[in-house]
Structure 1
Amino acid sequence: MDNDPKHTSKVVAKWLIDNKVKVLEWPSQSPDLNPIEHLWAELKKRVRARRPTNLTQLHQLCLEEWTKIHPTYCGKLVEGYPKHLTQVKQFKGNATKY
């Protein structure tokens, strides 16, 4: 939950209350601390550079580019997590260079 309007609509709020889901307060535009988000951004950048023109091509390019992302890239994202977390704490949850 990142305070995106689709997560804060009345129907969603009602569903969360009805289903007794406890929601933590979370600042809007807060840094994403999940390394997978950076991996998705990398995939998106690679696919966008190849300019797919239809859904079939988009799917194919996603598969191709996904296989080109080396496991060491994923490892570096995870290894960089402590530095990322330190910066987020230093900037009190505001934007960082990550």
Structure 2
Amino acid sequence: MDNDPKHTSKVVAKWLKDNKVKLLEWPSQHHDFNPIENLWAELKKRVQARRPTNLTQLHQLCQEEWTKIHPTNCGKLPETFDPS
């Protein structure tokens, strides 16, 4: 949980307390430590470089660029994490 409002609502807080869930302290709205975000960023960069002009072309370019990302890149995702 990153202190996003949906995670801090009274209903959620009550459920967590009732179920004795202990939370780790986390900075508000902290960046995501999920390495998959690096893959989405790479796809976005590749698609933007091709400058789609409409939704159909955007969809096509996303599919084309997705297939060009080699599976070994996925294994390297944790190494690409930059916490800054």
Match of 1:8 in 2: 5
Q: Take 1:50 and 1:31, find their aligned partners in 2: how far apart are those partners?
A: 28
- Count of aligned pairs: 78
Shift of 1:54: 1.2
Cα distance, 1:72 vs. partner?
1.3
Which structure is larger by alpha-carbon Rg, 1 or 2?
Answer: 2
Residues in 1 aligned to 2:41 and 2:74: alpha-carbon distance in whole angstroms: 12
Moved over 4 A (4+): 21-25
Structure 1 spans left out of the alignment, 5+ residues: 89-94
Tell me the TM-score normalized by structure 2.
0.67
Gaps of 5+ in 2: none
CA distance, structure 1, for counterparts of residue 42 and residue 11 of structure 2: 34
- Displacement, 1:42? 0.5
Instruction: Give the drift of 1:39.
Output: 0.4
Identity %: 65
Q: CA deviation at 1:13?
A: 2.2
**Pairwise CA RMSD of aligned residues?**
2.8
Where do residues 1-98 of structure 1 align in structure 2 (5 Å cutoff)?
Answer: 1-3=1-3, 7-8=4-5, 13=9, 16=12, 20=15, 25-78=25-78, 80=79, 84=81, 95-96=83-84
For residues 74-96 of structure 1, what are the alpha-carbon distances to aligned partners after superposition, in whole Å with 9 as ceiling and x for unaligned? Answer: 11113x27xx5xxx8xxxxxx52
**1:40 maps to amino acid:** W
Paired amino acid for 1:74: C
Structure 1 residue 27: Cα displacement: 1.6
